[in-house]
Structures are given as structure tokens and as C-alpha cells.
Structure 1
Amino acid sequence: MILTVTPNPSLDRTYEVPSLDRGEVVRATGDRMDPGGKGVNVSRAVAAAGVRTVAVLPLGGAPGALVAQLLDEQGIEAAPVPVAGQTRSNIAVAEPDGTLTKINAPGPELSDAEQESLLATVGERSVGAEWIACCGSLPRGLEPSWYADLVARAHAAGARIALDTSGPALLAALAERPDVVKPNAEELAEAVGRPLATVGDAVKAAEELRERGARAVLASLGADGQLLVDASGTYFASAPVDAVRSNVGAGDSSLAGFLIAGGTGPAALASAVAHGAAAVQLPGSAMPSPSDLAPDAVTLTAEPPLNRPLTEPAS
């Protein structure tokens, strides 16, 4: 079982449009509504693979009730923590060329009692979990140290932690030695305080996060592929993508693929890349099923192309 923790979940609405013209009436050619938040997306991808998952998340108001309903309809076991504020609603607008415009609401502010209830629920539901995936931004009311506290508690209970967050929350948690962290290129650049122009720059930044406490770093480099830096070495993998339809949740799908495959080593990296490549070719924040994957298309090496410029340099 893989437990996910999403402190700031959302109700995600995605619209596909011919073009996004500011100030004009734009008619959508397609739309979908999904339960959202990075941990929720990980649970959705894990469930699509036929693996049991439990999603712990604070929910409030009508949007929260709809998130719970959508999770149930997708066969995902939820462990909701009731909160007074309303769960946020996010909007994404996808254009045919792959351009994605997102509007993310801030979400509710959690009281001290709600924060503690969230931590307690994680502890109660993590019994028997192979991994705990802690994902996404922190809602108002939670200090950057909240994830660090969660990692410490989980390790004390014998669980392995995968952490996908950024900024001060990521830096604070490194001291508690999360088993794997999953930044994208921009988050990796922010964490080390310098721009990343090449694959080699990303490798050095990942190594620095390991020196600060992360046991492994799974870094998404967008169209260029993904890196895994752990105690056994450094690995780089990529896969061809015919056309990008939406990149919403692609990184979350990658983390799910990594954890499904055991969460360690090059085989797990290959699974992560296969899941991410499949996700970007699906609409909205749809998560890939096994039939969407093309594992044979993944190229993996223990000798990353260090001098290769990143398609999208991170600053």
C-alpha cells in the first residue's frame, strides 16, 4: 500500500481551447473535472496501476465534498480530515500546442487543531504502508517545518518517505533525511540558489541535496528526461513523446511510477519516465493506466550526458 498526503488538495477543472485570447470569449472544445493536488494525483496513478493506495487530505465545503465523491468514483480510498475552510478550486486552460495556463487558488487556512488532526490521521493510516508520499504546497497556517515534522514522525514509525515539495518546506525537511525527494528543474535550481543550464548542472545540484540530507533525488528535467542520484550512483533516463497534450500531474505520475516499481534504483527510474511520458499525452490531469505505458521506449544510462544543454534552462 502507498499512502499519500496532500496538505492542500484541490478540485481541478481543465478546459481545452483552440487558443487563449485575453479579453475574448473563448469556447472550450473539451473539459474535465478531477480531484487534484500532487498527492491525490499520485494516488490516482497508483490506483490506475492496480496498487492499493490511501489518500490523506483535508477537505472542506462543497468543493471538498466533490473531491471526496470523485475519489470514491475512481476507487481511491480516502482518509479525509474535515476542515472549516473550503477546499480550493483550480483552473487549467490547455491549448493545442501544449501551452498550459493554470490558475491556482490559495486554499483554506488550517487551524492548529486541524494541522494536528492531519498529522494524527497520517500516523493512524500509515500502518502497513510501503511508502508515504508527501506532496505539494503547504496551505496557509502550516509552517515550512510541517513536512520536516511529518518526515521525522514517519521515520520513527518505520515508514519510508517520498517528498515532493519546494522552497523553504523542502529545505527544512532535508535535515530529517527523506528517503527520496522529487524536485523539477526549477525547484532544484531554487533549492541550490543557482541556475541550471545543463544536465551536469542538475546532477551537481542533486548531489548537493543529498549532501544536505536527502537519501535519493529523483529530478524531473522536463522534455530532457529524469535523473536519479542515490547511494548507488547517478542514472539518466528519457522517452520520446509524440505530442504533449497536458503536463498537469505528469510529475506526480512519474513519482507514482517510481514508487510502484519499488522506489529505488534504475528500474524504478525507468518506470517513472514511462509514467511521465504517458501522462503528458493524456488530457487534463488524467493519469495513465498500464495500457498507456511504453516501457520499451525508455532509454536509461548510468552515464548522464553532462554537457547536454537543458531544453528549458532553470533559473
Structure 2
Amino acid sequence: MITVAGFNTAIDRLMTVDRFEPGTVQRASSVRSYPGGKGVHVAQTIAALGEAVQLVGLTDGMHRNLIARRMSERGVLFHGVEIAGDMRCCLALRERSGRMSEVLDPGPELHVRERQQLLDALGRCIEESDAVVMSGSLPRGFDPDTYAQLVESVDQRRTPCLVDASGETLRLAAKAQPYLLKPNRDEASQLAGRDVQTLDEAIAVAVQLHRQGIALPVLTLGALGAVGFDGSDTWHAAIDIGEAANAVGSGDCLLAGMTVALVRTGDLGQALRLGVACGAANAVHEETGYVQRAQVNALLPMVKLDKIGG
């Protein structure tokens, strides 16, 4: 069983417009709403790959049935903590050209009781987990060191912990030395204190993070793919899919694929390969943060995997 801590669950709205022009009236040609947030993306991708997965996240009175139904349909065991306020709603505007613009709701500030319910639910789930993924932002009210504390708690159970966060939450989580840390290019630049643009610069940061105690640092680089270092070898995986339909959530799907491969084999190279295929499968699909297993399998042979050094 893989457990995902995706505390800041959301309702995603994807609107398609001919062209987004700020300051004018926009008329959408299509609108879709579905449960979202990075944790949801990770969990439903893990389920699509055939692994047992459970998600700890938020719900509210208005959306409890929608989220429970969708997670059940996707094969995710959902442990939802219902809050008194409203869940956050995130808007993605997709232009006909493929360009995406996002407006991310900060979400509600949780009461002490609600925060503790999330932590208690996660604690119960960890007991039966082969890996724990902490993905996305923390709801308001949580301290930025929450992931760091959870990493230390999970480590005491000798369970691999994988973290995808940003800002101060990411910096503090990195200090706690999780098994895997997955910053993107901008987040890696902030962690390293220097610009990360090229593959060589990304490799240097991955090596630096490993020396700081992170077993598997993985950096995602957009069209350049992803790079990871396991202490002896550096691996780089990339794929060319041409024009993307919706690349939002591809990093989440990549993390999900990597988690599945690491639980199955423990091999970083194969984990990057499956992860990049999952990220690409999301990008060619309209829905944010969702893959179909058949699409992943079709893309897998197209992923170019290189070992650098060794």
C-alpha cells in the first residue's frame, strides 16, 4: 500500500477559451470540474498503474460526494477530513494555442481540530504503508515544518518518504533528509542558491542534495525531462511528445510513476523512465493530473534513458 498525504485537496476547473486577454470579457467554449490538488493527481496515477493507494486529504459538505465517488472510480481509498469551511477551487484557463494560465486559490485556514484530524488519519495510514508521498502545499494553519516533522516520523518506521513541495516547506523538508525529494527547476534554484537551467547545472544540484543526506534527489526540468542521482550514477530521462494538450499536473504524475517503480524495483533509472512516461501521458490528456495506463505503456518505449557517469 502506498499512502499519499495530499492535505490541500481542491476542486479544479478547466476552462477553454479561444484566447485569454486580461481586462476583457472571456467566454469559455467548455468547462470541466473535478477533484484536484497535487495529492489527488499522485494518488489516482498510482492507482492507474495498478498499485494499491490511499489518500489523506480534505473535503467539505458541498463536494464530499463528488470527491468520494471520483476517488472510488479511480481506485483510490480516500480518507477525507471534512472541514467547516469551503475547499479551495483552482482555475486553469487553456487557450486554443495550448497556452495555460492558472489561478490558485489559497484555500481555507484550518482549525486546530481539523489539522489534527489530518495528522491522525495519516498516522494510521502510515502503519500499513510501503511508501509515503507528501505532495503539494499545506493548508493554511499548518506550520511550514510540518512535512519535515512527518519525514522524521516516517523515517522512524523505516518507510521510504518522498516529498514534493515548494518554498519554506520544501527547504525544511530537505533538511529532514527524505528518501526522495523532487524539486522542479525553480525550486532547485532556490534550494541551491544559484540558477538551474541546463542539464549539467541540474546534475550538480542533485549531487549537492545527495551529499546533504537525501538518498534520491530528482529534479524535473520541463521539456528537458528529469535527472536523478543515487550516490553512484546520474540518470537522465526525457521524451518528445510534440505539442501538449495540458501539461499541468505532469510533475505530479511523474512523481507517482517514480513511486510505483521504486516500490517495485528500487531502481532509480527505471523509476525515472516510468515517471517521465507518466508525465507525458498526462500532458497528452485533457484532464489535469490524470493518466491512462494504456497511454503510459504506449509512451514508455519512447522515453530516452541515459546513465551519466558511474
- 1:129-140 equivalences in 2 (<5 Å): 129-140=129-140
Q: What percentage of residue pairs aligned between the two structures are identical?
A: 32
Kept in 2, the 8 Å contact 1:166–1:191? The answer is: no
C-alpha distance in 1, partners of 2:52/2:164? 20
Map of 2:281 onto structure 1: 278
Q: CA deviation at 1:58?
A: 2.4
Map of 1:292 onto structure 2: 295
Map of 1:96 onto structure 2: 96
C-alpha distance in 1, partners of 2:46/2:239? 20
Aligned residues: 304
C-alpha distance in 1, partners of 2:182/2:105? 23
Q: CA deviation at 1:286?
A: 4.8
Map of 1:177 onto structure 2: 177
Of the three residues 268, 271, 290, the one matched with 2:271 is 268
Kept in 2, the 8 Å contact 1:96–1:245? The answer is: no
Q: CA deviation at 1:109?
A: 1.1
Post-superposition CA distance 1:2-54 (Å, at most 9, x none): 11011211000111222112233333233322211111100111112222110
Map of 1:146 onto structure 2: 146
The residue identity in structure 2 corresponding to 1:209 is L
Map of 1:218 onto structure 2: 218
Post-superposition CA distance 1:33-84 (Å, at most 9, x none): 2211111100111112222110101223424553334323433210012222
C-alpha distance in 2, partners of 1:21/1:219? 33
Q: CA deviation at 1:92?
A: 0.3
Relative to structure 1, the CA distance from residue 22 to residue 174 in structure 2 (aligned partners, 3 Å threshold; closer, same or farther) is closer
Map of 2:307 onto structure 1: 302
- 1:21-170 equivalences in 2 (<5 Å): 21-170=21-170
C-alpha distance in 2, partners of 1:185/1:72? 34
Relative to structure 1, the CA distance from residue 193 to residue 65 in structure 2 (aligned partners, 3 Å threshold; closer, same or farther) is farther
Q: CA deviation at 1:174?
A: 2.1
Map of 1:313 onto structure 2: none
The residue identity in structure 1 corresponding to 2:275 is A
C-alpha distance in 2, partners of 1:89/1:97? 24
The residue identity in structure 1 corresponding to 2:144 is P
- Structure 2 gap ranges (5+): none
CA RMSD of aligned residues (A): 1.7
Kept in 2, the 8 Å contact 1:42–1:252? The answer is: yes
Post-superposition CA distance 1:181-230 (Å, at most 9, x none): 11111111111121123111111122222222321111110001110112
TM-score by length of 1: 0.91
Kept in 1, the 8 Å contact 2:5–2:55? The answer is: yes
C-alpha distance in 1, partners of 2:64/2:232? 42
The residue identity in structure 2 corresponding to 1:139 is P
C-alpha distance in 2, partners of 1:197/1:289? 31
Post-superposition CA distance 1:271-299 (Å, at most 9, x none): 01111111111113051112112111011
Give the secondary-structure state (helix, strand or coil) at the position aligned to 2:62.
Answer: helix
Map of 1:310 onto structure 2: none
Give the secondary-structure state (helix, strand or coil) at the position aligned to 2:23.
Answer: coil
C-alpha distance in 2, partners of 1:60/1:150? 24
C-alpha distance in 1, partners of 2:250/2:42? 10
Give the secondary-structure state (helix, strand or coil) at the position aligned to 1:172.
Answer: helix
C-alpha distance in 2, partners of 1:74/1:297? 26
Q: CA deviation at 1:85?
A: 2.5
C-alpha distance in 1, partners of 2:70/2:229? 36
- Structure 1 gap ranges (5+): 305-315
C-alpha distance in 2, partners of 1:81/1:70? 16
Map of 2:233 onto structure 1: 233
